[in-house]
Amino acid sequence: MAILANTYPLRILRRSEAKKVEAALIEEMLKGCPHSINFDGVHFKDGVIIVKCRDNRSKEWMELTVPKVHVLSNVLLSSCPVADLPSMKIVKIHLPRTEGQNAMRLLREQNKDLDSDAWELLSNCLTREGGHLVTLGLKPRSLELLQQNALKVSYRFEQLPCRIYEDQTAQGDDEEVENAMWYVDIPDVHSHREEDKLIL
């Protein structure tokens, strides 16, 4: 199972935040549960906490408990299977001149060869200069096409550069902490019992 910010991948977790979340989950375990809560490892990767659940009841406990954890300022948490993590990359484009609602429509129309219909609009903010800063979520195919086009898009009568976004709030916080569990990849445990198979 993955524990992540609700706005992932636009917001990823810091390592220090992952430590706070782990401590909060242990506090929740101490409150008691009608059944055993069994895990088989936890580690931190790419702004997400990955927890290996040993059984479905532990997975369900995680799904119910994680949204109740409020230890991070202005960050709501959720959980999902690792396979369901959004595969989008964040791309930002500055549109220097815009015409209201037509800006995004024009951007899509002029870039159909870049699979623009599959772009997910995450935010559209007005800049001081009167333009817009557009934040898009691109899936692997759309990102590949954009990279083949030198990370540029057509807009009006020019080519505009795009920037692949890395969340700066998660950087500068990567110091190693001795004995922190999430720095160790736990090997998979194989089981012949269906209920004991690890759930990611």
- Which residues touch 94 (CB under 8 Å, ≥6 apart)? 127, 131, 132, 133, 134, 160
Q: How confident is the model at residue 174 (pLDDT cuts 50, 70, 90)?
A: very low
Q: Read out DSSP for 27-48?
A: HHHHT--SS---EEEEEEETTE
What is the predicted pLDDT for the residue at 87?
77
pTM here is 0.59
Residue 89 in this model has a pLDDT that exceeds 70: yes
Q: What are the structural domains, with CATH classification, of the chain?
A: 2-85+173-196 (no CATH), 89-167 (3.30.70)
The pLDDT value recorded for residue 7 is 85
Residues above pLDDT 70, as percent of the chain:
80
Over 70: is that where the pLDDT of 180 sits? no
State the DSSP code for 97. Answer: S
CB 171 within 8 A of CB 177: no
Tokens 């990370």 correspond to what residue? 151
Number of Cβ within a 10 Å radius of residue 33: 14
CA dist 71 and 68 (Å) reads 9
Q: pLDDT at residue 198 above 80? A: no
Q: Which of 71, 51, 72, 73 is nearest to 63 (CA)?
A: 51
In this prediction, residue 76 carries a pLDDT of 95
Q: Which own/partner pairs from 142-147 qualify as long-range (CB within 8 Å, at least 24 positions apart)? A: 142/114, 142/115, 142/116, 142/118, 143/89, 143/91, 145/113, 145/114, 145/115, 146/91, 146/114
The predicted-structure confidence for 112-147, as pLDDT tens digits, reads as follows 999 999 998 888 888 888 788 898 989 889 999 999
Indicate the pLDDT class of residue 177, thresholds 50, 70 and 90.
very low
Of 1-15, 49-63, 84-98, 159-173, the one with minimum mean pLDDT is 159-173
The rounded distance, in Å, linking the Cα atoms of 4 and 50 is 9
